[in-house]
Amino acid sequence: MGVLPRRTRRPEETRMQLRHGLNPQQTTAYAVPANPERAPVRVLQGQPSYINLLDALNAWQLVREADRTLGLPAAASFKHVSPAGAAVAGPVDAAAALPYGVDPAGAGPLTSAYLRARDADPKSSYGDFVAVSREVDLELAELLARVVSDGIVAPGYAPGVLDVLARKKGGRFLVMEADPAFEPPESEAREVFGLRLVQERDRIPLTPDVLADVPVGTLTDGARADVLLGLAVLRFTQSNSVCYVRDGQTLGIGAGQQSRVDCTRLAGAKTDTWWLRRHPFVRDLDFRPGVRRQDRVNWRIRLVEGDLTEDERDRLRAAVAGEREGAPDELDPGRRAAWLARLTGVTFVSDGSLPFRDNVDHARRHGVTTIAEPGGSIRSGDVEDACRELGITLARTGLRLFHH
């Protein structure tokens, strides 16, 4: 008997019905795989919205690329189609772990990757979409059960994990499974206002080969790994975009700004906030019972932002337990400056060429010792001179990574 021909699946059989489009009033929304026989993700629980699906697809690509590049479990915390933070597995400090009731010394690799990713901008990560590059274990599932998050995409789930996640948000927590072997078509298309745009997919691999051109300084192994992580992050971040990276985790990401230096300043401010949250005055705030986890996170951020209103000062004092030397108020300028001066070893990565040296000057204020950018600007010589003047290692990737 001959082999029966494989039946071609009809489009309606592979259609993924979405909860709604970009906005709830866009009630008709669905997704159809380009290849009816194989989709990159499938839904295990819940119903995605249009934005959920965009977050899942971008975030999964980011962590898969980071894992392939660095050989470590990777995690990303996505909001509105850009990462709030991303990281690979590594050491977790008290500032990142204790708000979530995790022992810093006991966090497993996947949990550490997510804690480090969420810690970059925990205010923005509230209600995030999570992506991890390895099978979700019970430890990570139990952490996710305690944080405010909308969904997760991963290549698999260990036994018992789906039972834990099924209880989150009354069963509405979105759980998606990615196909780790899926490779997209060579071209990609989108329709905008009745016009279909088609382009070749960007397939340039992120390998150490893209960092061969180092005109200023010496690229250490640690900085090289941070540049590669930064490139993976920016490949799936709305442009213009830059990121500050240190020891395998993003500290600040600036996305979607029309001016690159505005991205640099925005991400730099987030980097300062990340570091100031580690100041003992801020890290060790003792909150009263009943103050919610995210409120504690947000109060620490407001404290280091340094512009509390009188009403906020009163509410913060009411939230903090007991009396302590120096009431909960802004860090005074001297202590703030002294603490910020201790931040170093930060790598700055840009998805496009730096058009002026002002990006270098601003980046240096946030502990940057290495910069990676494509080069090729008419003022690339000025950028190189600025790095040499400030003692910053400069690597030119020759690779633009715009994402829209």
Mean pLDDT check: name the lowest of 239-248, 281-290, 346-355.
281-290
CA 248 to CA 82: how far, in whole Å?
18
Query: What pLDDT, on the 0 to 100 scale, is given for residue 196?
Result: 95
Decide if pLDDT at 116 tops 60.
yes
137-141 mean pLDDT: 97
pLDDT at residue 5 in the model: 47
Inter-residue contact 63 to 42 (CB < 8 Å): no
**For residue range 267-280, what is the model confidence (pLDDT) as tens digits?**
999 999 999 999 99
Q: DSSP letters along 103-118, please?
A: -GGG--HHHHHHHHHH
User: Which pLDDT does position 1 carry in this prediction?
Assistant: 37
Query: How many CB atoms within 10 Å of residue 129?
Result: 30
Q: Tell me, what's the pLDDT at 332?
A: 86
Contact 401, 231 (CB under 8 A): yes
CB 328 within 8 A of CB 303: yes
Return the active site residues.
79-80, 240, 404
By residue count, the chain amounts to 404
Reported confidence tier of residue 6, pLDDT bands at 50, 70, 90: very low
pLDDT at 331: 82
Q: What pLDDT is attached to residue 36?
A: 87
Is 336 in a helix, a strand, or coil?
A: helix
- Write down the pLDDT at residue 3: 41
Confidence of residue 4 (pLDDT cuts 50, 70, 90): very low
Residue 344 has pLDDT above 80, yes or no: yes
Which tens digits make up the pLDDT trace of 56-88? 999 999 999 999 999 999 999 999 999 999 999
Q: What angle do CA 228, 253, 371 make, to 5 degrees?
A: 50
- List, for residues 26-57, the tens digit of each pLDDT value: 999 999 998 888 999 999 999 999 999 999 99
pLDDT of residue 321: 79
Amino acid at 171: G
Amino acid sitting at position 344: T
The pLDDT value recorded for residue 330 is 72
Residues 209-235 have a mean pLDDT of: 97
Residue 329's pLDDT is what? 66
Averaged pLDDT, 146-170 = 95
Return mean pLDDT, the chain. 93
What value does the mean pLDDT take over residues 296-303?
Answer: 94
End-to-end CA distance of the chain: 52
- Dihedrals phi, psi of 354, to nearest 5 degrees: -80, 120
pLDDT at residue 257, as a whole number: 95
pLDDT band at 7 (very low <50, low <70, confident <90, very high): very low
Residues whose CB falls within 8 Å of the CB of residue 182, separated by 6 or more in sequence, listed in order: 38, 39, 40
Torsion on CA atoms 353, 359, 360, 366, rounded to nearest 10? -130
How much is the pLDDT for 327? 53
Q: Is the pLDDT score of 198 beyond 60?
A: yes
pLDDT at position 324 is 53
Structure-model confidence comparison of residues 350 and 12, the more confident one: 350
Q: Hey, what domains does the chain have and what are their CATH numbers?
A: 28-178 (3.40.140.20), 206-275+343-396 (3.40.140.20), 280-330 (no CATH)
| pTM (predicted TM-score) | 0.94
Structure-model confidence comparison of residues 332 and 143, the more confident one: 143
Using 50, 70 and 90 to split pLDDT, how confident is the model at 306? confident
Residue-level pLDDT at 103 = 92
